[in-house]
Amino acid sequence: MRELVLTQPGRVLVGPSERESESCRSHGEFEERLAECGPLAFRVAYGVLRNAADAEDVAQEALLKAYRNFGRLREPARFRGWLVRIAFRMALDRWRSVKRREKREAPGEQPEPRTAGPSVEDLATSSEFQARLERAMEELPEKFRLVVLLAGIQGYTLAEVSGMLGIPMGTVKSRLFLARKKLAEKLR
């Protein structure tokens, strides 16, 4: 993911007033949090979109939105979870937009011919399962999907997921259990 550059064009600080020094402090604090959580926005977006270019765009938009609204964040310790929610919701919006566009354009177009892959049997089983898993993930409610994405797919611990989302550990455990149960039912 390319580095997000946060600048304010045309702004020069000669002698910082109280407001400007507060802005500089919050800008510095945001940069610190961005350094530790920036790649997370990309991983969350990629988990939803499964396309690196789209995920990078969404991650950049999420980071920009977080920067613009950083002053409104009441508890800076919850920045990580806040950023995850922003990136996840923006990725879902992008995904829905792409699906709507595909539906509008699909009737008039012919599918492109498929090329042969390395092994027909391997591709059939893996791509068929992957497609079924993606459909099952799409059908999960957002609160379950986010927990599965972070804990199951991205590999975060339950404590980390609890901290990122700002919910109790027991809630994370129950959501993960229910999400896995629903996924297993849908994949049978």
What string of H, E and C letters represents the secondary structure of 166-188? CCCHHHHHHHHHHHHHHHHHHHC
Specify the pTM: 0.54
DSSP state letter for 117: -
14 conformational bin, left if phi > 0, alpha if psi -120 to 50, beta if neither: alpha
Q: Output the tens digit of pLDDT for each of the chain's 188 residues.
A: 445 544 433 433 333 333 433 444 567 778 887 877 778 888 888 888 888 899 999 999 998 898 888 888 888 778 888 888 899 889 888 988 888 888 888 665 555 544 444 455 554 556 777 778 788 888 888 889 889 888 887 788 899 888 888 899 999 999 999 998 988 888 87
